[in-house]
Amino acid sequence: MKFYFPDSQDQVSPTFNFITEEHSPYRVRQRDDKYAHEILEPLPYDGLLVSKAIVDGSVKGAGKYSMPQRERLYRLGVTRYFRLPEEVVTLGDCGAFNYVDEEFPPYTIDEVLNFYERCGFHSGISIDHVIFGYDAKVSDEDVSPAWKKRREISLQYAADFYEAVERRGGKIEPVGAAQGWSPASYADSVRRLQDMGYERIALGGMVPLKTPDILACLKEIKQVRWPTTQLHLLGITRVTSMEEFALHGVTSFDSTSPFRQSFMDDRNNYHTTDESYTAIRVPQVDGNPALKRRVLAGEVSQTKAKLAERECMKRLRAFDQGSETADRAIEILGEYERLVEPDKKKSKLSAYRTTLEAKPWKSCKCTLCTAHGIEIAIFRGSERNKRRGFHNLSVFATKMHHIKHPLGQEN
C-alpha cells in the first residue's frame, strides 16, 4: 500500500533554536528549510501529491506558492524542486475541492497536462468535479440532476484527458478520476474509465463517507474491476480498514490527516504505533491572541505570565532529563493553563500527565524524536508542531507498510 503526502509547502528549519525560539539570521527558507523526507529515516511516505490549485491558484484566488516558488517549480521540475529521493514517486492533481462551487472545472485539458508535463510528474489525475452527496439507495430516476451532470463532466474530461496523454506520447501515467453518489454509480464510473484505457483509477469525493459506505463502493467496484486495475483513494485515512481496502484493489491513497492532527486535533497530537497522546500546550505569551488581549486589558500581568511560561519550559526540559518530577511539571502547567484560559471548563492536565508518564518520545527511534526529545511533544509554534506532524507521518508510514496484500487477493 503506497502512501502519498499532499504538499502544502510544509517545511521545518534546521537553524531553529528551541531555547531562544529564534532562527538563524542567515536562514534562507527555500535553501535551508527541510521537507519531511529530508530529515526522517526511513522515508515517511512513498509519494508526493501536488495540486495545480495549490501551485497556480484557482477561482478562489492565489495558491500557496509565491511567484518565485511557482517559477522555480516549473523550472526545476517536481523531483528537483522538492529534492526528492529517487524512490519517492509523484502524482499531480487539479485540486477539485478548490472549485467545487463552480458549474464547470476552471481548467482545460491542455492547461492541466502542461502543468503535469512541465513539472515532470510520474502520474497525473484527470480533471474531475466533486459530487457532494451520497445515497446508496437512490434510483436513477430520482437522483439529483446536478450529481448526474458532475459525474458526466468528470467522465468526459477523463476521456479527453486520456486521448491527450496518448497524443502527446504518454509522458505521464494517466490516472482516471471516478466520481459517484452510490456504490452502483462509482462502479459504473470505474467500468467506463477502464473502457477508455485507464489502468489506474482515483476514487474522489469519498472523504465525507463512513467506512462501511466506502467498503460498499469498493465491493461493488470489484464486480467490474479488471484484475490489473489499481485503485487510489483520494484523501482517505482509515488505518484500521486499509488492509480490507487493499483486498478490494486499493494500492495507494493520499492524506494529510496524520500531519494535521499534530496541531489541529484537540487531543490526539502525538502518535505511536499503538496509542495517541495529547501534546503539552505551552503557548507563547507574545504569540497567543487571547492572552495578549487579556494582558492589554489589564486582566493578567504580562510579567507573571512570562515567568509562568518560562517555568513551564524549564520544568518540562528538566523532567525530560530526569531532574524534575511529573507532579512539579503538572503543577506549573496548571498555573499557566488557568492564566491563559481562566474560563476553560475541561482541563487537559490529566491528558498531560498521561503523556509525561508514558514519555513516548523516549522510545521513538525517528530522527526527530531522537534529536529533540520532549520538544516534539510540546504544542508551541510551527517549528515544534510541524516536527510532531512529520513524526506522525513516519509512524503512519510504518503502519501502512505492513499492508502488503497482492492486488485482488481474497480473504
| Model confidence at 411: pLDDT above 50 | no
The residue-averaged pLDDT of 345-373 equals: 96
Mean pLDDT check: name the lowest of 108-117, 184-193, 249-258, 292-301: 292-301
Mean pLDDT check: name the lowest of 32-41, 90-99, 286-295: 286-295
| Model confidence at 288: pLDDT above 90 | no
Q: Which triple of cell numbers denotes residue 34?
A: 527541510
Give the chain's end-to-end CA distance (angstroms, integer): 17
| Model confidence at 60: pLDDT above 80 | no
227 upstream amide cis, omega within 30 of 0: no
Task: Give the pLDDT confidence score for residue 58 in this predicted structure.
Answer: 78
CB 122 within 8 A of CB 172: yes
The pLDDT tens digits of the residues spanning 122-164 come to 999 999 999 989 999 999 899 999 999 999 999 999 999 999 9
The pLDDT tens digits of the residues spanning 223-232 come to 999 999 999 9
| Model confidence at 410: pLDDT above 80 | no
- Which residue, chain included where needed, has cell 465491493? 219
Cβ–Cβ contacts within 10 Å for residue 399, how many?
16
φ and ψ of 275, to 5 deg: -140, 170
Instruction: Give me the residues paired with residue 51 across strands.
Output: 93
The residue-averaged pLDDT of 365-386 equals: 96
Rg (alpha carbons) of the chain, rounded to whole number: 24
CB 91 within 8 A of CB 202: no
Task: Give the pLDDT confidence score for residue 294 in this predicted structure.
Answer: 86
- Which residue, chain included where needed, has cell 491563559? 340
| Model confidence at 303: pLDDT above 90 | yes
User: Domains (ranges, CATH) in the chain?
Assistant: 46-255 (3.20.20.105), 269-381 (no CATH)
The pLDDT tens digits of the residues spanning 99-127 come to 999 999 999 999 999 999 999 999 999 99
Task: Give the pLDDT confidence score for residue 287 in this predicted structure.
Answer: 85
What are all long-range contacts of 354-361, with beta carbons under 8 Å and residues at least 24 apart? 354/277, 354/278, 355/270, 355/277, 355/278, 355/279, 355/280, 356/280, 356/319, 356/326, 356/329, 356/330, 357/326, 358/275, 358/277, 359/320, 360/270, 360/272, 360/275, 360/277, 361/270
Question: Mind telling me the catalytic residues?
Answer: 93, 254
pTM over 0.85: yes
Task: Give the pLDDT confidence score for residue 271 in this predicted structure.
Answer: 98
Confidence of residue 404 (pLDDT cuts 50, 70, 90): low
Confidence of residue 405 (pLDDT cuts 50, 70, 90): low
